[in-house]
Amino acid sequence: MNVTFEQQSVIVTGAAHGFGRAIALAFAQRGAVVWACDVQEERLHETAHLARQGATPLHTRAVDVTSRDAVQALVDGVQQHTGRVDVLVNNAGGVLGQVGRPIEAITPQDWHAIFQVNVDGAFYCAQAVAPIMKQQGRGRIINISSGAGLGISLTGIQAYASAKAAQIGLTRQLAHELGEWGITVNNVAPGFVRSNPTTEKQWESYGEDGQRRLLQNIALKRLGSPEDIAHAVLFFASDYAGWVTGQVLSVDGGK
């Protein structure tokens, strides 16, 4: 299957490392005009450096997706530059450094912070690109959730599991709302992947026994990579998924 995105305009949030970086690079390697966005500017420069090394340069923008105004400014800039937005990948999110604690220890600020980046951010980005995609009569929105949104969070973080479940609900709702304009909205739910400093700490915290148990619970008996997640995104963004919308694809090695 030869998947290309020649001259398509693609926005990827949370592109400073991990899944977002792999997704941004994958689109750039296939001819897309990529806008890689994140709040971590220094690590975003690393993403751009890797793209240049592969002779597939991309644009970078420092954007806080929890700010509706910042998101709208980003999308306005992309439209002015390319005249269109073909693909939006809502990857920004995570646990923001939080760890699992009893529910009675969770502050309102902790709870809302995770919802803001994982749910509000995806909503603001989709809201900003929707009018452009409607005018085009075509578009692809892909949200990156987590196995935690379909089951439970391995870290025990209540807000993360809840926010990812909410993001999946948003995916299904927008698929029905936007479908008549040729816009598909789908979701990739990754399993545990060692993709960034947070997941590295999580992996180390399990110890040898815990790591062995985690692998034994995976059908393929191995961890995946950020590229595995990127490949699922490429499918949803491609013409091969033209009649696929409102779906959640678990990319987790089999549970």
Place of tokens 């923008």: 61
Out of 57-66, 83-92, 202-211, pick the least confident: 202-211
Q: Are 166 and 188 in contact (CB under 8 A)?
A: no
Q: Is the pLDDT of residue 177 over 70?
A: yes
Name which of 23, 18, 26 is nearest 43 in CA terms.
Answer: 18
Mean pLDDT of the chain: 96
SS3 for 185?
A: strand
Q: What's the pLDDT band for 199 if we cut at 50, 70, 90? A: confident
* Portion of the chain with pLDDT greater than 90, in percent: 92
* pTM score of the predicted model: 0.95
Instruction: Round to whole Å and give the CA distance between 91 and 70.
Output: 16
Q: Which CATH architecture has domain 9-198+224-250?
A: 3-Layer(aba) Sandwich (3.40)
Q: Band of the pLDDT at 154, cuts 50, 70, 90?
A: confident
Q: Is 124 a catalytic residue?
A: no
Q: Exactly one of 124, 160, 206, 240 is catalytic; name it.
A: 160
Q: Is 74 helix (H, G, I), strand (E, B) or coil?
A: helix
The answer, yes or no, to whether residue 1 has pLDDT greater than 80, is no
pLDDT in tens, 3-62: 999 989 999 999 999 999 999 999 999 999 999 999 999 999 999 999 999 999 999 999
Q: Of 77, 34, 78, which Cα lies nearest the Cα of 56?
A: 34
Residue 142: strand, helix, or coil: strand
> How far is Cα 186 from Cα 168, in angstroms, rounded to an integer?
9
End-to-end CA distance of the chain: 26
Domain boundaries, the chain: 9-198+224-250
